[in-house]
A and B are shown apart, each in its own frame.
Chain A
């Protein structure tokens, strides 16, 4: 019998056991009860101007820049830096006369150039990736003109579109060349944005703009068009990411004030934001507080928009009021709603309806065509 070593061992074991228990306790203590989750806003809601500035000291307020090739093209080398003198647009495939337009040759169509107002919304713009939307004026030449000059074959069904950075997309021949529906502005080869030459970030010297369709249809640094009889989906976002080939912007709205989960003071609260549809102009925006019946919000009218944005006066839509009734198709409409907040937790629901009768679903499980469920804000009023 060896008492001393035995006592030492017991003591050691006791110590180790206690130390282990303590460590386990420390580790497990915060786990009791355990799963928690919170979402807290840390900025104020923001008012938004009808025309989005291209630059702003606060980058959140400037026109968004999104590179479709960044997430889809292997070893994408960043935005292109292309000089006007070296840029060219090649039109080939099922055309009578394959040809390449230089920048100077493109501008020979400038007599038919149009200046439009349009909203670009990235299809990724959503609850979790907000802010990928903006409105400004664009100047460009109808895509139809260069396709007609090359003589697109009657057998062609689609125009495959290639950007210099490797990004691709397509338009149906009917989408590119018409006939175009009422309220629809045709696709343009844009060389000015915000009444200034495109910046490299936005596709200098020439990009495509497809009004009323998501941003991925408007290929930047456009350099090649291929007419093809292939009538299947084609493009980086469709083939690599699974987004819909039909890029029409679904009717959507967003309140930019108040923010979700915000803490508000009782009393008057201005709820405001924007609404957009690529299929028709916005007809109305409706607001419901705590499941009360929807009530109409006030749309900012054209006079108010023009008063604050006089540069809009010479755009195609403003100049052709009969053909393009306000709110415009593919251009956001600003709205506001006055609410007298009372103490407690509240849910604000907002939905938009366009003139074609399209509205937002209560839930939207189909993300391939862009998110557009009824916009919902939970707030706490004290």
Chain B
């Protein structure tokens, strides 16, 4: 039950951690922006429970981190936010079995970038993420306690978008990830901490996206279909949360990292205009309010309204963005009728 108490609060679709940007061929890179599957998920959902969240992102960047970590203009000479991501993300998870949770997310990307002369906009469904989470302690025969550990396995799959548009809705290839989360509940205090670490394999499989014929150097709406071989990455996340006033307020401290296995040594190449290695750390905080818990309007008591905000204190081959996520979430239990 401790885990269940924490479950609703530790599950959040803080999607769309941004990726990376080149020093010069900047417009070629926006297709890289994709949700990271790194979510600290130490607790599997109970059978029959679900959690769903619809999030609107507001990500803006005027600066970038170069391949060696220096800050610079996102696009030379462009003042203000040259990159804006105002996407929607639908995230949900279901407790399929007692120890098996299905996790799905899909973004509707709305991206805009501009240079000195043009504004480029794209909207499309981005890469969907599909995964499963299962608790490791039950498998190991360890009794439930304040500590939980779960394995998260999943893949990010393009949904048929055009990968060489400027900007594009995703990087265009399939990624797979494996993450282990460890959580600690402070019950009866409604607080928790958790940390997740894992590995993302970035494949060269591009068949779930398409490319438009592009006349390099002539067409503005597209780039050459480079199909780069992205470097694999280590993924990290740390999180702490606390609920107050009978669950009405839920506050979080959040940290997240993506760390390419190989050190980024260059922003881009002529043959491959998209940087293949990135590193960044995001730090942020979140607040979710469940207003109907106070009003005792039971039909709505599990509906929450939240905001999360992040900064990017460190990066290589990434944008230096300020990320906001505004979301509405709700959770429930389909199994109650049978109990």
Known: A23-B54, A39-B220, A375-B218. A75 touches B122 (CB 8 A): no
Please report which residues of chain A, range 13-50, place their CB below 8 angstroms from some CB of chain B when the two chains form the complex: 13, 15-16, 19-20, 23-24, 26-28, 30-31, 34-43
Taking a contact as CB atoms under 8 Å apart, the answer to whether B70 and A23 are in contact is no
Interface residues in B103-140 (C-beta closer than 8 Å to A): 106, 108, 114-125
B118, B165, B221, B273 interface centre (most CB from chain A within 10 Å): B118
Interface residue A209 (Cβ < 8 Å from any Cβ of B)? no
Which B residues from 259 to 275 make CB contacts under 8 A with A?
265-273
Q: Are B25 and A129 in contact (CB under 8 A)?
A: yes
Contact among A6, A24, A260 with B337 in the assembled complex (CB-CB below 8 Å):
A6
Contact yes or no, B270 A39, CB < 8 A: no
How many angstroms from the CA of A74 to the CA of B114 in the assembled complex? 28
> A1 vs B218: C-alpha distance in the bound complex, in angstroms?
73
Kindly specify which of B149-157, B245-253, B305-313, B326-334 makes contact with the partner chain: B326-334
Whether, in the assembled complex, A365 has its beta carbon less than 8 Å from a beta carbon of chain B, the answer is yes
| A-side contacts of B70, CB under 8 Å | 75-76
Determine which of A28, A35, A74, A129 lies in contact with B24 in the assembled complex, contact meaning CB atoms within 8 Å.
Answer: A129
Across the interface, do B334 and A37 meet the contact criterion of CB distance under 8 Å? Answer: no
B218 to chain A, nearest CB (A): 5
**Bound Cα distance from A127 to B25, whole angstroms:** 10
A367 with B270, Cβ < 8 A, contacts A6-B337, A35-B161 known? yes
| B123-A36 in contact (CB<8A) | yes
Shortest distance between the CB of A373 and any CB in chain B (Å): 4
Query: Using a Cβ–Cβ cut-off of 8 Å, how many residues does chain B contribute to the interface with A?
Result: 62
Report how far A368 CA is from B218 CA in the complex, Å. Answer: 16
Q: How far is the CA of A75 from the CA of B68 in the complex (A)?
A: 6
Which of A93-101, A220-228, A236-244, A265-273 faces chain B?
Answer: A236-244
Instruction: Report if A364-B52 is in contact (Cβ < 8 Å); known contacts: A27-B108, A35-B122.
Output: no
User: In the complex, are the beta carbons of B121 and A38 less than 8 A apart?
Assistant: yes
Q: Bound complex: CA of A41 vs CA of B220, how far in Å?
A: 11
B218-244 to A contact mask, C-beta < 8 Å, 1/0: 111101100000000000000000000
Q: How far is the CB of B273 from chain A (nearest CB, A)?
A: 8
Interface pair B72/A43, CB less than 8 Å apart: no
A240 CB to nearest B CB, Å: 5
Rounded to whole Å, the gap between the CB of A328 and the closest CB of chain B is 24
Q: Which of chain A's residues have a CB closer than 8 A to the CB of B166?
A: 37, 39, 128
Nearest CB of chain A from residue B216's CB, rounded to whole Å = 6
**Distance (Å) between the CB of A254 and the closest chain B CB?**
11
Closest chain-A Cβ to B322's Cβ sits at a distance in Å of 23
Q: In the complex, what residue of chain B is closest to A45 when comparing beta carbons?
A: B117
- Chain A contributes a number of interface residues (CB within 8 A of B) equal to 60
Contact of A124 among B25, B52, B123 (CB under 8 A): B25
Please name all residues of chain A whose beta carbon is closer than 8 Å to the beta carbon of B72 when the two chains form the complex: 70
Q: Are A34 and B270 in contact (CB under 8 A)?
A: no
Asked if A178 is an interface residue, CB under 8 A from chain B, the answer is: no
Q: Is the CB–CB distance between A40 and B266 below 8 Å? A: no
B216 touches which of A6, A9, A60, A373 (Cβ 8 Å): A373
Q: Which of B74-119 contact A (CB under 8 A)?
A: 77, 88, 90, 106, 108, 114-119
Q: Is A130 an interface residue (CB 8 A)?
A: yes
Q: Does B296 contact A (CB under 8 A)?
A: no
B216-A242 in contact (CB<8A): no
Q: Are A43 and B330 in contact (CB under 8 A)?
A: no
Q: Of A35, A40, A129, which is within 8 A of B124 by CB?
A: A35
Q: Which residues of A contact B125 (CB under 8 A)?
A: 31, 34-35
Q: Which of chain A's residues have a CB closer than 8 A to the CB of B221?
A: 37-39
Any chain A CB within 8 A of the CB of B281? no
B188 close to chain A: CB less than 8 A: no
User: Given the interface contacts A20-B52, A31-B108, A70-B23, does A242 sit within 8 Å of B270 by beta carbon?
Assistant: yes
* A57–B165 alpha-carbon span in the complex (Å): 34
Q: Is the pair A10, B270 in contact by a Cβ cutoff of 8 Å?
A: no
Bitwise interface map of B from 37 to 72 toward A, beta carbon under 8 Å scored 1, else 0: 000000000000000101000000000001110101
**How far apart sit A363 and B224, CA to CA, in the bound complex (Å)?**
12
| Choice from B23, B67, B115, B119 contacting A128 with Cβ under 8 Å | B115
Q: B145 within 8 Å of A by Cβ?
A: no
Residue of A nearest to B226 (CB): A367
Q: Does A176 sit within 8 A of B, measured CB to CB?
A: no
Interchain CA distance A251-B307 in the complex, whole Å: 53
- CB within 8 Å for A240 and B118 given contacts A16-B330, A27-B108, A70-B66: no
How many angstroms from the CA of A12 to the CA of B157 in the assembled complex? Answer: 34
Residues of B within 8 A of A34 (CB): 108, 123-125
Bitwise interface map of A from 227 to 271 toward B, beta carbon under 8 Å scored 1, else 0: 000000000000011110000000000000001110000000000
Is the Cβ of A363 less than 8 Å from the Cβ of B271? no
Q: B24 → chain A, closest Cβ, in Å?
A: 5
Q: How far is the CB of A10 from chain B (nearest CB, A)?
A: 7
Q: Contact between B90 and A23 (Cβ–Cβ < 8 Å)?
A: yes
**Most interface-central of B122, B216, B334 (chain A CB within 10 A):** B216
Q: Which B-chain residue is minimally distant from A26 (CB atoms)?
A: B54
B178 at the interface (CB under 8 A from A): no
Chain B residues with CB under 8 Å of A27's CB are 54, 88, 90, 106, 108
Q: B residues bordering A, Cβ < 8 Å?
A: 22-28, 52, 54, 66-68, 70, 72, 77, 88, 90, 106, 108, 114-125, 161-162, 165-166, 169, 215-221, 223-224, 265-273, 299, 303, 328, 330, 332, 334, 336-337
Listed A/B pairs (17) with beta-carbon separation below 8 Å: A16-B330, A36-B124, A38-B122, A39-B119, A39-B220, A42-B119, A71-B267, A127-B219, A128-B115, A128-B166, A129-B115, A241-B269, A260-B220, A367-B224, A372-B217, A376-B215, A376-B219
Closest 6 CB pairs of A and B: A371-B217, A35-B124, A71-B23, A9-B337, A27-B90, A242-B270
**Given A41-B118, A260-B220, 18 additional A-B pairs, CB 8 A:** A15-B299, A16-B330, A23-B328, A27-B108, A31-B125, A34-B123, A35-B169, A36-B123, A37-B120, A37-B121, A42-B119, A71-B23, A72-B266, A127-B218, A128-B220, A130-B117, A363-B218, A374-B218
